[in-house]
Structure 1
Amino acid sequence: MKISIVLCWALAAWLPAAWAAGDPAASRQAFGDVARVLQSPRCLNCHTVTDFPRQGDDRHPHQQMIKRGPADMGHPSLMCLACHQTANSADGGVPGAPNWRLAPLSMGWEGLSAGQMCRRLVDKSRNGNRDVPALVAHMTTDPLVQWAWHPGGRRTLPPLSQNDFHDAVRRWADTGAYCPK
């Protein structure tokens, strides 16, 4: 019994050091799963590098010639919230979630590799000053991000389930938040 207690104490002392060291290979592999979602139309349509949002799986320019605007919420004459409410419309035609908006241009991901996207994601000068725990919270709890798995209409879901995505984000962070090379 005493040996078991000593072993448990030794293991408890070792585990935090092992976690702090990280696991680059496991972290990069987990980010590969994260990237599959972030590179899907559900994310890329708003994480665009254009002055307009995109729509649909083919990522065509938003109808009605919608533009980004000064606060990434459309121009004052036609703000995103004029059509996009806090929930999907009853027929699913107009998607909605709280705080509907484009991601800032600094977080545009079009044309980036998984590694480039990851480096942009962790760059606090681009990501709204978020550290890794704040990124995990954003990707696993923000209602606008979670909308991707409840898009209404006939929109294609991301390539991972919501729970699998959350698990991959947490695995990436817990193993050191390493980016693919």
Structure 2
Amino acid sequence: MRAFFFICLATFAAIVLSGQKPARAEPARPLPAWEEALAKQGALKPAANFSGIGDRNARSLALYAEATKVITHPRCMNCHPVDNIPRQGAAMKVHSPPMTGALDGHGPAGQRCSTCHGVKNFEQTGGDNIQSIPGNPKWALAPASMAWQGKTPGEICRQIKDTSRNGGKDLEALYHHMAEDELVGWGWNPGKGRAPAPGDQKQFGELIRAWIDTGAACPA
């Protein structure tokens, strides 16, 4: 043990005499809150994983909780703002350049969303750090009645079931919207520089289907 101590001391002295400083381990960079939350979500579980929950209402709540991994993901939340201003990126920053959905969710006159957003993602060139411009034939903000940002999963659940706020969709229409709508599907094909929503649209649709079939329960 004494020999080992003297070896360590000699090594340290050699470093000091040479003018070098002992290497220090870089502290771990704390994740931004949004990045940490996404990392904790994990992969989207298939609906079959919840078939073992005997209580029908508990199973429905568990299925909805799993579906919220998609519903509350930035790929969805960015287009469901509470102030009619679109958000961008995983950090959900205010759209740059300044933009608003205006009256119909497609932007003000002379500055429509389609001015920059085409029918498909536009992959820019010129470097690894340049992101794509999102695109979809239906590109627009969700209506104000479907604003989700800042709301709890329970509030969102009751909102998407409310036909007076969801565009008159009953549960079957809601399922087809979630499972088949191409703009919803963009969340899994967001283009270069963006993390897609977890799972895929088919898997998400199966969760919604199972949630509806078990009573479409909403958390408090």
Q: Indicate the TM-score class for this superposition, using the shorter chain for normalisation.
A: 0.7 to 0.9
The reply to whether residue 58 of structure 1 matches residue 58 of structure 2 is no
Equivalent position of 1:149 in the other structure: 188
Contact 2:132–2:192 (Cα < 8 Å) also in 1:
yes
Aligned pairs for 1:42-57 (under 5 A) are: 42-57=75-90
Pair member with larger Rg = 2
The one of 141, 158, 163 equivalent to 1:119 is: 158
Give the secondary-structure state (helix, strand or coil) at the position aligned to 2:148: coil
Q: Structure 1: how far apart are the matches of 2:71 and 2:80? A: 9
Aligned length: 160
Q: Please identify runs of 4+ aligned residues in structure 1 that moved more than 4 A.
A: none
The reply to whether residue 71 of structure 1 matches residue 110 of structure 2 is no
Contact 2:84–2:141 (Cα < 8 Å) also in 1:
no
Unmatched segments (≥5 aa) in structure 1? 1-21
Equivalent position of 1:39 in the other structure: 72
Q: Structure 2: how far apart are the matches of 1:162 and 1:100? A: 17
Unmatched segments (≥5 aa) in structure 2? 1-54, 125-130
Q: What amino acid is aligned across from residue 72 of structure 1 in structure 2?
A: G
Give the secondary-structure state (helix, strand or coil) at the position aligned to 1:109: coil
The reply to whether residue 169 of structure 1 matches residue 208 of structure 2 is yes
> Normalising to structure 2: TM-score of the pair?
0.70
> Normalising to structure 1: TM-score of the pair?
0.84
Per the TM alignment, residue 84 of structure 1 is displaced from its structure 2 partner at its CA by: 1.0
The reply to whether residue 138 of structure 1 matches residue 171 of structure 2 is no
Identity %: 39
Q: What amino acid is aligned across from residue 178 of structure 2 in structure 1?
A: M
Q: What amino acid is aligned across from residue 68 of structure 1 in structure 2?
A: G
Listed one character per residue, the Cα deviations across residues 30-80 of structure 1 (whole Å, up to 9, x for unaligned) are: 110111111110000001101210000111111111111110110011011
Per the TM alignment, residue 162 of structure 1 is displaced from its structure 2 partner at its CA by: 3.0
Q: Structure 2: how far apart are the matches of 1:165 and 1:51? A: 26
The one of 122, 132, 150 equivalent to 1:89 is: 122
Give the secondary-structure state (helix, strand or coil) at the position aligned to 1:75: coil
Q: Structure 2: how far apart are the matches of 1:90 and 1:158? A: 19
Q: Structure 1: how far apart are the matches of 2:170 and 2:202? A: 22
Contact 2:159–2:166 (Cα < 8 Å) also in 1:
yes
Q: Structure 1: how far apart are the matches of 2:219 and 2:76? A: 19
Query: Which structure: greater helix fraction?
Result: 1
Say which structure, 1 or 2, has more relative contact order (CA 8 Å, 6+ apart): 1
Q: Structure 2: how far apart are the matches of 1:99 and 1:164? A: 22
Q: Structure 2: how far apart are the matches of 1:164 and 1:140? A: 8
Give the secondary-structure state (helix, strand or coil) at the position aligned to 2:67: helix
Q: What amino acid is aligned across from residue 145 of structure 2 in structure 1?
A: S
Q: Structure 2: how far apart are the matches of 1:139 and 1:85? A: 22
Give the secondary-structure state (helix, strand or coil) at the position aligned to 1:63: coil
